[in-house]
């Protein structure tokens, strides 16, 4: 009888190991991001005429929809403002996620949200999706489950990018478990943590998480004296883009690109 119990216990352990392995996210593949140009303009919820950009070196990450999670359902709000880009522009469909305080996501909400996100990924000229969500600690497991669902349904070819708080990239290893190809450290509107982040980066320290080491998110109205070089730059404008603001910003960041 003891031998039978030991056998059952061993089988249970084996099944647990197999379960854990199947729950591991697909490995990050930075190569999937190689199709994205080194300079990306964020286009948020306002009219944008970006026909002046050069599609060879500039992509556009546009707010495609906002998904709000409440206690029982998801509410999807599609982009309402026009966006004009030149032929050949690579587009990244950005999905902003909002959630009521303390809300975690049910299985049905994850399914509905993933379906809404996939519908944006299938829009013309969209080559990647980006999720923008400031998940709280209590929402991290829900967020990971949503990203796993998106990855499984998108397949392995379409890149998944997320925006990331700088603190996630420096000191919080949870981000390394996410099934994404890129996490963009958001280096603007950082609030109380700004001096610490600025001090670390200007001292030459890089982000700890490898997924955060390929790109940077900055704003036209919060200049940096120096930043890690060789990164894809996502730039958020303080007002609608014009060719003058784009050229001026490119001249400002060129020394450390």
pTM: 0.86
Domain 37-256 in this protein, CATH class: alpha beta
Structure tokens at 33: 């991001």
| pLDDT of the residue at 43 | 97
What is the mean pLDDT of each successive set of 10 residues along the chain, which is 257 residues long? 47 38 55 89 95 95 97 94 96 96 92 96 95 94 96 91 93 88 92 84 88 93 83 92 84 65
226, 234, 190: which is closest to 205 by C-alpha? 226
**How many CA atoms, within 13 angstroms, populate the side-chain half-sphere of residue 206?**
12
User: Residue 17: its pLDDT value, please?
Assistant: 34
Tell me how many helices (H) and strands (E) the chain has: 6, 11
Query: In whole angstroms, how large is the CA radius of gyration of the chain?
Result: 20
From the list 166, 91, 86, 110, the residue with the least C-alpha distance to 134 is 166
pLDDT for residue 241:
92
Q: For residue 174, which phi and psi values (nearest 5 degrees)?
A: -60, -30
* CB crowding 2-39: b at 16 or more within 10 Å, else e: eeeeeeeeeeeeeeeeeeeeeeeeeebeeebbeebbeb
In order of 52, 53, 62, 182, 202, the CA distances from 87 in angstroms are 11, 10, 16, 26, 38
What is the Cα–Cα distance from 42 to 97, expressed in whole angstroms? 16
Q: Are 205 and 236 within 8 A, CB to CB?
A: no
d(CA 210, CA 52): 34
């Amino acid at each position: 009888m003891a031998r039978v119990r030991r056998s059952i216990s061993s089988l249970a352990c084996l099944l647990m190991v197999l379960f854990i392995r199947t729950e591991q996210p697909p490995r990050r593949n930075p190569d999937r991001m190689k199709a994205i140009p080194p300079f990306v303009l964020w286009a948020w919820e306002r009219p944008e005429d970006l026909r002046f950009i050069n599609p060879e070196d500039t992509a556009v990450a546009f707010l495609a929809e906002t998904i709000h999670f409440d206690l029982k359902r998801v509410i999807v709000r599609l982009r309402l403002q026009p966006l004009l880009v030149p032929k050949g522009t690579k587009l990244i469909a950005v999905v902003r996620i909002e959630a009521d305080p303390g809300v975690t996501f049910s299985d049905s909400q994850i399914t509905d949200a993933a379906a809404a996100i996939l519908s944006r990924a299938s829009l013309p000229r969209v080559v990647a999706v980006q999720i923008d969500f400031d998940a709280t600690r209590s929402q991290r497991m829900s967020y990971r489950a949503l990203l796993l669902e998106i990855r499984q349904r998108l397949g392995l070819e379409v890149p998944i990018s997320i925006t990331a708080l700088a603190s996630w990239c420096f000191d919080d290893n949870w981000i390394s478990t996410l099934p994404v190809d890129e996490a963009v450290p958001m280096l603007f509107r950082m609030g109380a943590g700004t001096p610490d982040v600025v001090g670390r980066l200007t001292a030459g320290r890089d982000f700890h998480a490898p997924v955060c080491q390929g790109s940077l998110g900055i704003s036209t109205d919060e200049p940096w004296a120096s930043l890690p070089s060789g990164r894809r730059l996502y730039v958020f404008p303080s007002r609608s883009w014009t060719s003058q603001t784009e050229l001026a910003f490119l001249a400002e960041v060129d020394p450390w690109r």
